[in-house]
Amino acid sequence: MGRFSPKTLDLDGKVILVTGGTGSFGRRFIETVLRRSAPRKVIVYSRDELKQSDMQLELREQFDEATYAKLRFFLGDVRDRERLTLALRGVDIVIHAAALKQVPAAEYNPSECIHTNVLGAENVVWASLNNHVKQVVALSTDKACNPINLYGATKLASDKTFVAANNLSGDIGTRFAVVRYGNVVGSRGSVVPLYKRLLGQGATELPVTDARMTRFWITLNQGVEFVLSSLEIMRGGEIFVPKIPSMTMPDLVKAMSPDVGVKIVGIRPGEKLHEMMISADDARATVELADRYVIEPTFVEYPRKPFRGEAGTKDVAEGFSYSSDSNDDWLSEDGLNAMLAEKA
Protein backbone atom coordinates (compact mmCIF):
# COMPACT_ATOMS: atom_id res chain seq x y z
CA MET A 1 0.00 0.00 0.00
CA GLY A 2 1.36 3.40 -0.97
CA ARG A 3 1.14 7.03 0.03
CA PHE A 4 -2.24 7.56 -1.66
CA SER A 5 -3.82 4.23 -0.74
CA PRO A 6 -7.60 4.24 -0.16
CA LYS A 7 -8.71 3.32 3.35
CA THR A 8 -12.31 2.15 3.03
CA LEU A 9 -12.95 1.69 -0.71
CA ASP A 10 -14.95 -1.47 -1.34
CA LEU A 11 -15.01 -2.74 -4.92
CA ASP A 12 -16.36 -6.20 -4.11
CA GLY A 13 -19.25 -7.12 -6.37
CA LYS A 14 -18.78 -4.05 -8.56
CA VAL A 15 -18.60 -3.99 -12.36
CA ILE A 16 -15.70 -1.78 -13.48
CA LEU A 17 -14.83 -0.66 -17.00
CA VAL A 18 -11.48 0.89 -17.95
CA THR A 19 -11.21 2.77 -21.24
CA GLY A 20 -7.72 2.52 -22.65
CA GLY A 21 -7.42 -0.58 -20.49
CA THR A 22 -4.42 -2.00 -22.35
CA GLY A 23 -2.25 1.06 -21.64
CA SER A 24 0.36 1.28 -18.88
CA PHE A 25 -2.09 2.70 -16.36
CA GLY A 26 -4.98 0.46 -17.36
CA ARG A 27 -2.99 -2.72 -16.98
CA ARG A 28 -1.61 -1.79 -13.57
CA PHE A 29 -5.00 -0.56 -12.36
CA ILE A 30 -6.72 -3.79 -13.39
CA GLU A 31 -4.01 -5.97 -11.84
CA THR A 32 -4.27 -4.01 -8.58
CA VAL A 33 -8.06 -4.24 -8.42
CA LEU A 34 -8.07 -7.98 -9.10
CA ARG A 35 -5.44 -8.62 -6.42
CA ARG A 36 -7.03 -6.49 -3.71
CA SER A 37 -10.75 -6.99 -4.16
CA ALA A 38 -13.42 -9.24 -5.61
CA PRO A 39 -15.19 -7.26 -8.33
CA ARG A 40 -18.00 -9.01 -10.17
CA LYS A 41 -16.52 -8.07 -13.52
CA VAL A 42 -13.70 -5.93 -14.94
CA ILE A 43 -14.07 -4.81 -18.55
CA VAL A 44 -11.05 -3.82 -20.65
CA TYR A 45 -12.24 -1.39 -23.33
CA SER A 46 -9.69 -0.52 -26.02
CA ARG A 47 -9.26 -0.54 -29.78
CA ASP A 48 -6.04 -2.57 -30.24
CA GLU A 49 -6.73 -6.30 -30.64
CA LEU A 50 -3.05 -7.25 -30.41
CA LYS A 51 -2.59 -5.44 -27.09
CA GLN A 52 -5.74 -7.11 -25.80
CA SER A 53 -4.46 -10.53 -26.88
CA ASP A 54 -1.10 -9.93 -25.19
CA MET A 55 -2.82 -8.70 -22.04
CA GLN A 56 -5.06 -11.77 -21.92
CA LEU A 57 -2.04 -14.07 -22.06
CA GLU A 58 -0.18 -12.13 -19.36
CA LEU A 59 -3.11 -11.95 -16.95
CA ARG A 60 -3.98 -15.61 -17.45
CA GLU A 61 -0.51 -16.43 -16.11
CA GLN A 62 -0.88 -14.06 -13.13
CA PHE A 63 -4.30 -15.04 -11.80
CA ASP A 64 -6.17 -18.21 -10.99
CA GLU A 65 -9.01 -19.36 -13.21
CA ALA A 66 -11.78 -17.91 -11.03
CA THR A 67 -10.19 -14.46 -10.95
CA TYR A 68 -9.36 -14.45 -14.64
CA ALA A 69 -12.97 -15.37 -15.42
CA LYS A 70 -14.02 -11.93 -14.09
CA LEU A 71 -12.26 -10.22 -17.02
CA ARG A 72 -13.97 -9.15 -20.22
CA PHE A 73 -12.15 -7.75 -23.25
CA PHE A 74 -14.23 -5.39 -25.34
CA LEU A 75 -12.89 -4.05 -28.63
CA GLY A 76 -14.04 -0.49 -29.18
CA ASP A 77 -13.04 3.15 -29.54
CA VAL A 78 -14.21 5.99 -27.30
CA ARG A 79 -15.02 7.82 -30.53
CA ASP A 80 -17.81 5.28 -31.14
CA ARG A 81 -20.71 6.33 -28.92
CA GLU A 82 -22.93 3.36 -29.77
CA ARG A 83 -20.22 0.81 -29.06
CA LEU A 84 -19.29 2.55 -25.82
CA THR A 85 -22.92 2.65 -24.73
CA LEU A 86 -23.22 -1.08 -25.36
CA ALA A 87 -20.05 -1.77 -23.36
CA LEU A 88 -21.28 0.25 -20.34
CA ARG A 89 -24.47 -1.72 -19.77
CA GLY A 90 -24.59 -2.81 -16.11
CA VAL A 91 -21.33 -1.00 -15.25
CA ASP A 92 -20.98 0.61 -11.79
CA ILE A 93 -17.65 2.42 -12.18
CA VAL A 94 -15.83 3.83 -15.23
CA ILE A 95 -12.15 4.75 -15.22
CA HIS A 96 -11.50 6.80 -18.35
CA ALA A 97 -7.83 6.43 -19.30
CA ALA A 98 -8.08 6.39 -23.11
CA ALA A 99 -6.37 9.34 -24.79
CA LEU A 100 -3.95 10.41 -27.48
CA LYS A 101 -1.04 11.74 -25.41
CA GLN A 102 2.01 12.46 -27.56
CA VAL A 103 2.54 16.24 -27.72
CA PRO A 104 4.32 16.44 -31.12
CA ALA A 105 1.86 13.97 -32.70
CA ALA A 106 -1.07 16.06 -31.45
CA GLU A 107 0.47 19.23 -32.89
CA TYR A 108 0.75 17.57 -36.29
CA ASN A 109 -2.59 15.71 -36.16
CA PRO A 110 -4.91 18.04 -34.25
CA SER A 111 -8.22 16.64 -35.51
CA GLU A 112 -7.30 13.11 -34.41
CA CYS A 113 -6.44 14.34 -30.91
CA ILE A 114 -9.68 16.34 -30.68
CA HIS A 115 -11.82 13.40 -31.80
CA THR A 116 -10.35 11.07 -29.17
CA ASN A 117 -9.72 13.40 -26.25
CA VAL A 118 -12.65 15.82 -26.51
CA LEU A 119 -15.42 14.04 -28.41
CA GLY A 120 -14.40 10.77 -26.76
CA ALA A 121 -14.87 12.39 -23.33
CA GLU A 122 -18.33 13.58 -24.37
CA ASN A 123 -19.17 10.03 -25.47
CA VAL A 124 -18.05 8.61 -22.12
CA VAL A 125 -20.31 11.11 -20.34
CA TRP A 126 -23.26 10.37 -22.60
CA ALA A 127 -22.88 6.58 -22.35
CA SER A 128 -22.39 6.74 -18.57
CA LEU A 129 -25.56 8.78 -18.07
CA ASN A 130 -27.59 6.54 -20.35
CA ASN A 131 -26.45 3.43 -18.47
CA HIS A 132 -26.88 4.96 -14.97
CA VAL A 133 -23.22 4.39 -14.11
CA LYS A 134 -22.60 5.37 -10.48
CA GLN A 135 -19.08 6.85 -10.61
CA VAL A 136 -16.74 8.03 -13.37
CA VAL A 137 -13.12 9.08 -12.82
CA ALA A 138 -11.28 10.59 -15.79
CA LEU A 139 -7.49 10.75 -16.00
CA SER A 140 -6.05 14.14 -16.92
CA THR A 141 -2.55 15.61 -17.14
CA ASP A 142 -0.52 18.53 -15.85
CA LYS A 143 -0.55 19.81 -19.43
CA ALA A 144 -4.28 20.63 -19.06
CA CYS A 145 -3.44 23.52 -16.72
CA ASN A 146 -2.69 26.72 -18.66
CA PRO A 147 -2.16 24.66 -21.83
CA ILE A 148 0.18 25.79 -24.59
CA ASN A 149 -0.09 22.65 -26.74
CA LEU A 150 -3.04 20.95 -28.39
CA TYR A 151 -2.83 17.87 -26.19
CA GLY A 152 -3.13 20.04 -23.07
CA ALA A 153 -5.98 22.04 -24.61
CA THR A 154 -7.94 18.89 -25.45
CA LYS A 155 -7.47 17.54 -21.94
CA LEU A 156 -8.61 20.85 -20.46
CA ALA A 157 -11.75 20.59 -22.61
CA SER A 158 -12.14 16.99 -21.43
CA ASP A 159 -11.76 18.03 -17.77
CA LYS A 160 -14.41 20.73 -18.19
CA THR A 161 -16.73 18.21 -19.85
CA PHE A 162 -16.49 15.76 -16.95
CA VAL A 163 -16.84 18.44 -14.26
CA ALA A 164 -19.92 19.93 -15.96
CA ALA A 165 -21.46 16.48 -16.51
CA ASN A 166 -22.48 16.38 -12.84
CA ASN A 167 -25.06 19.05 -13.63
CA LEU A 168 -26.62 16.76 -16.24
CA SER A 169 -27.13 13.66 -14.13
CA GLY A 170 -30.34 14.76 -12.38
CA ASP A 171 -32.10 11.84 -10.72
CA ILE A 172 -29.70 9.42 -12.45
CA GLY A 173 -27.14 10.45 -9.84
CA THR A 174 -23.98 9.65 -11.82
CA ARG A 175 -20.98 11.43 -10.33
CA PHE A 176 -17.94 12.48 -12.34
CA ALA A 177 -14.48 13.54 -11.11
CA VAL A 178 -11.04 14.12 -12.61
CA VAL A 179 -7.52 13.25 -11.47
CA ARG A 180 -4.61 15.34 -12.73
CA TYR A 181 -0.99 14.33 -12.23
CA GLY A 182 2.45 14.62 -13.79
CA ASN A 183 4.90 12.41 -15.66
CA VAL A 184 4.79 8.72 -14.79
CA VAL A 185 8.23 7.21 -14.21
CA GLY A 186 8.79 4.29 -16.56
CA SER A 187 5.54 4.55 -18.52
CA ARG A 188 5.68 4.23 -22.30
CA GLY A 189 5.29 8.00 -22.75
CA SER A 190 8.01 8.85 -20.24
CA VAL A 191 11.56 9.89 -21.12
CA VAL A 192 12.96 7.31 -18.66
CA PRO A 193 12.62 4.27 -20.99
CA LEU A 194 14.32 6.31 -23.74
CA TYR A 195 17.22 7.13 -21.45
CA LYS A 196 17.51 3.49 -20.37
CA ARG A 197 17.62 2.38 -23.99
CA LEU A 198 20.27 4.94 -24.90
CA LEU A 199 22.38 4.00 -21.90
CA GLY A 200 22.08 0.35 -22.86
CA GLN A 201 23.42 1.27 -26.30
CA GLY A 202 26.46 2.89 -24.71
CA ALA A 203 25.45 6.55 -25.02
CA THR A 204 27.85 9.03 -23.42
CA GLU A 205 25.32 11.88 -23.57
CA LEU A 206 21.56 12.00 -23.00
CA PRO A 207 19.30 14.56 -24.70
CA VAL A 208 17.65 17.29 -22.63
CA THR A 209 15.59 19.98 -24.33
CA ASP A 210 16.53 22.77 -21.89
CA ALA A 211 18.84 22.77 -18.86
CA ARG A 212 16.26 24.71 -16.80
CA MET A 213 13.44 22.25 -17.46
CA THR A 214 11.58 20.74 -14.50
CA ARG A 215 8.88 18.09 -14.29
CA PHE A 216 6.59 16.51 -11.69
CA TRP A 217 7.13 12.77 -11.19
CA ILE A 218 4.88 9.98 -9.96
CA THR A 219 5.16 6.19 -10.19
CA LEU A 220 2.62 4.00 -11.93
CA ASN A 221 1.64 2.39 -8.65
CA GLN A 222 1.17 5.79 -7.02
CA GLY A 223 -0.99 6.86 -9.95
CA VAL A 224 -3.21 3.82 -9.47
CA GLU A 225 -3.43 4.42 -5.72
CA PHE A 226 -4.28 8.06 -6.34
CA VAL A 227 -7.13 7.17 -8.68
CA LEU A 228 -8.51 4.59 -6.25
CA SER A 229 -8.35 6.97 -3.29
CA SER A 230 -9.93 9.75 -5.34
CA LEU A 231 -12.71 7.35 -6.31
CA GLU A 232 -13.18 6.70 -2.60
CA ILE A 233 -13.61 10.35 -1.56
CA MET A 234 -15.11 11.96 -4.70
CA ARG A 235 -18.36 13.89 -4.38
CA GLY A 236 -18.69 15.03 -7.98
CA GLY A 237 -16.99 17.78 -9.96
CA GLU A 238 -13.58 17.71 -8.28
CA ILE A 239 -10.18 17.81 -9.94
CA PHE A 240 -7.83 15.93 -7.63
CA VAL A 241 -4.13 16.84 -7.75
CA PRO A 242 -1.54 14.78 -5.82
CA LYS A 243 1.35 16.23 -3.86
CA ILE A 244 4.33 14.78 -5.72
CA PRO A 245 7.99 15.75 -6.14
CA SER A 246 9.72 17.68 -8.93
CA MET A 247 13.12 17.18 -10.53
CA THR A 248 15.16 19.08 -13.09
CA MET A 249 15.86 17.15 -16.26
CA PRO A 250 19.68 17.44 -15.93
CA ASP A 251 19.37 16.05 -12.38
CA LEU A 252 17.28 13.19 -13.77
CA VAL A 253 20.08 12.38 -16.22
CA LYS A 254 22.73 12.45 -13.49
CA ALA A 255 20.61 10.31 -11.16
CA MET A 256 20.21 7.66 -13.87
CA SER A 257 23.91 7.66 -14.78
CA PRO A 258 26.41 10.00 -13.08
CA ASP A 259 29.03 9.44 -15.78
CA VAL A 260 27.07 10.60 -18.83
CA GLY A 261 26.87 14.12 -20.17
CA VAL A 262 23.83 16.24 -21.02
CA LYS A 263 23.17 17.25 -24.62
CA ILE A 264 20.86 20.28 -24.95
CA VAL A 265 18.66 19.73 -28.02
CA GLY A 266 16.12 22.56 -27.75
CA ILE A 267 12.47 22.66 -26.71
CA ARG A 268 10.12 20.69 -28.95
CA PRO A 269 6.95 22.20 -30.45
CA GLY A 270 4.30 22.58 -27.76
CA GLU A 271 6.66 21.77 -24.88
CA LYS A 272 6.69 23.75 -21.63
CA LEU A 273 9.78 24.70 -19.64
CA HIS A 274 7.93 23.90 -16.40
CA GLU A 275 4.67 22.08 -15.78
CA MET A 276 1.80 23.47 -13.73
CA MET A 277 -1.05 21.51 -12.14
CA ILE A 278 -2.89 24.33 -10.36
CA SER A 279 -2.90 27.90 -11.66
CA ALA A 280 -3.37 31.03 -9.54
CA ASP A 281 -6.86 31.34 -11.02
CA ASP A 282 -7.69 27.75 -10.03
CA ALA A 283 -6.41 28.46 -6.52
CA ARG A 284 -9.54 30.38 -5.56
CA ALA A 285 -11.47 27.10 -5.79
CA THR A 286 -8.71 24.93 -4.32
CA VAL A 287 -8.48 23.34 -0.89
CA GLU A 288 -5.50 21.48 0.51
CA LEU A 289 -5.65 18.02 2.09
CA ALA A 290 -2.77 16.13 3.67
CA ASP A 291 -1.73 14.32 0.48
CA ARG A 292 -3.45 16.26 -2.32
CA TYR A 293 -5.17 19.39 -3.51
CA VAL A 294 -8.82 19.47 -4.55
CA ILE A 295 -10.02 21.97 -7.14
CA GLU A 296 -13.72 22.20 -6.34
CA PRO A 297 -16.37 22.90 -8.99
CA THR A 298 -17.53 26.51 -9.17
CA PHE A 299 -20.84 25.89 -10.93
CA VAL A 300 -22.90 23.39 -8.91
CA GLU A 301 -26.54 22.57 -9.56
CA TYR A 302 -26.61 19.15 -7.90
CA PRO A 303 -26.44 17.90 -4.29
CA ARG A 304 -22.82 18.20 -3.22
CA LYS A 305 -21.07 18.74 0.10
CA PRO A 306 -17.91 20.82 -0.42
CA PHE A 307 -14.53 19.85 1.02
CA ARG A 308 -13.82 23.45 2.01
CA GLY A 309 -14.29 24.01 5.73
CA GLU A 310 -14.08 20.36 6.76
CA ALA A 311 -11.60 19.12 9.37
CA GLY A 312 -8.24 18.33 7.82
CA THR A 313 -8.64 20.80 4.95
CA LYS A 314 -7.36 24.33 4.53
CA ASP A 315 -7.55 27.01 1.89
CA VAL A 316 -4.44 27.64 -0.18
CA ALA A 317 -2.82 31.08 -0.02
CA GLU A 318 -3.94 33.93 -2.24
CA GLY A 319 -2.09 33.71 -5.56
CA PHE A 320 -1.03 30.09 -4.92
CA SER A 321 0.02 28.00 -7.89
CA TYR A 322 1.38 24.47 -8.04
CA SER A 323 4.21 24.37 -10.54
CA SER A 324 7.14 22.00 -11.01
CA ASP A 325 9.70 24.81 -10.63
CA SER A 326 8.25 26.32 -7.43
CA ASN A 327 7.41 23.01 -5.77
CA ASP A 328 8.71 22.59 -2.21
CA ASP A 329 9.20 18.82 -2.69
CA TRP A 330 12.25 17.91 -4.77
CA LEU A 331 13.20 14.41 -5.83
CA SER A 332 16.64 13.22 -4.73
CA GLU A 333 18.81 10.70 -6.53
CA ASP A 334 17.83 8.07 -3.94
CA GLY A 335 14.19 9.00 -4.34
CA LEU A 336 14.36 8.56 -8.12
CA ASN A 337 16.13 5.22 -7.75
CA ALA A 338 13.41 4.06 -5.39
CA MET A 339 10.82 5.03 -8.02
CA LEU A 340 12.74 3.23 -10.75
CA ALA A 341 12.99 0.12 -8.56
CA GLU A 342 9.20 -0.20 -8.47
CA LYS A 343 7.67 -3.07 -10.41
CA ALA A 344 7.76 -2.07 -14.08
Q: What residues act catalytically?
A: 143
Distance between the two ends of the chain, CA-based, in angstroms? 16
208 within 8 A of 253, measured Cβ to Cβ: yes
230 within 8 A of 31, measured Cβ to Cβ: no
- As separate numbers, helices (DSSP H) first and strands (DSSP E) second, the chain gives 13, 17
Taken in order 150, 151, 156, 158, the sign of the CA dihedral is: positive
- Cβ-Cβ contacts under 8 Å for 323 (sequence gap 6 or more): 274, 275, 276, 277
The whole-angstrom separation of Cα 292 and Cα 242 is 4
Helices (H), the chain: 24-36, 49-62, 65-68, 81-87, 103-108, 110-114, 120-130, 150-165, 191-200, 220-233, 249-256, 280-283, 333-340
